[in-house]
Amino acid sequence: MTQRLLLNDAAPNAAKGLYATSAYLAQCSLPKPLVDLVYLRVSQINGCAYCIDMHSRDLLALGMAVDKLLLVPVWREALPLFDARERAALQWAESLTAVAQTQAPDADYAALTAVFGEREIGDLTLAVSLMNAFNRIGVGLRMVPKAAQAVGAVCA
């Protein structure tokens, strides 16, 4: 796979806006591991290898157990590994990522309000939205994951 273009070169001001939002979310009301968990799940749904690679590495660096990381795609079948906030956040992430089909159901929002405050819900919604945007960039521009770059360097 060859990257099509670099967004930073093609549209630097727009890229800066996305990175500013990302910087906000790195300091927001939510714990970083929860934000990265949401980023990973959204990226899995969207099939963005670049972001899956990045956020898996981030979660491992933050201390997430490999067993838990491997079960993120099937989190409902591994409920003891995911607490109530993680479950609500993952459900919201899935609901918003597939919003054309789900219409963000009231039940999903109610699950959020049971464990998150308004600011946290706003931050979580922004995190899901941002990752959906980054995934479209990553997939559309064929961004190469770090793991594949490493293999390519060895094979080249």
Task: Decide if pLDDT at 151 tops 90.
Answer: no
Mean pLDDT, the chain, rounded, equals 94
Q: How many structural domains comprise the chain?
A: 1
Range of the domain at 114: 31-155
Say if residue 108 is exposed, middle or buried (CB neighbours under 10 Å; 0-12, 13-18, 19+).
middle
Q: How far is CA 23 from CA 17, 18, 98, 127, in A?
A: 10, 9, 25, 11
- HEC-encoded secondary structure of the chain: CCCCCCHHHHCHHHHHHHHHHHHHHHCCCCCHHHHHHHHHHHHHHHCCHHHHHHHHHHHHHCCCCHHHHHCHHHHHHHHHHCCHHHHHHHHHHHHHHCHHHHCCCHHHHHHHHHHCCHHHHHHHHHHHHHHHHHHHHHHHCCCCCHHHHHHHHHHC
Kindly state the tokens that stand for 145.
Answer: 């994951």
Position 152 scores a pLDDT of 65
Domain contains 15: no
With 90 as the cut, is the pLDDT of residue 2 above it?
no
- CATH of residue 44's domain is 1.20.1290.10
Within a domain: residue 134? yes
Per-residue model confidence as pLDDT tens digits over 9-28: 899 999 999 999 999 999 99
- Domain annotation covers residue 18: no
Q: Is residue 151 part of a domain?
A: yes
| Mean pLDDT, rounded, for 26-46 | 98
Structural domain contains residue 25 = no
pLDDT attached to residue 90: 98
Closest C-alpha among 52, 72, 44, 63 to residue 144: 52
The pTM (predicted TM-score) of the whole model is: 0.92
- The pLDDT of residue 1: 73
pLDDT at residue number 70: 98
Confidence of residue 156 (pLDDT cuts 50, 70, 90): very low
Residue 154 has pLDDT above 50, yes or no: no
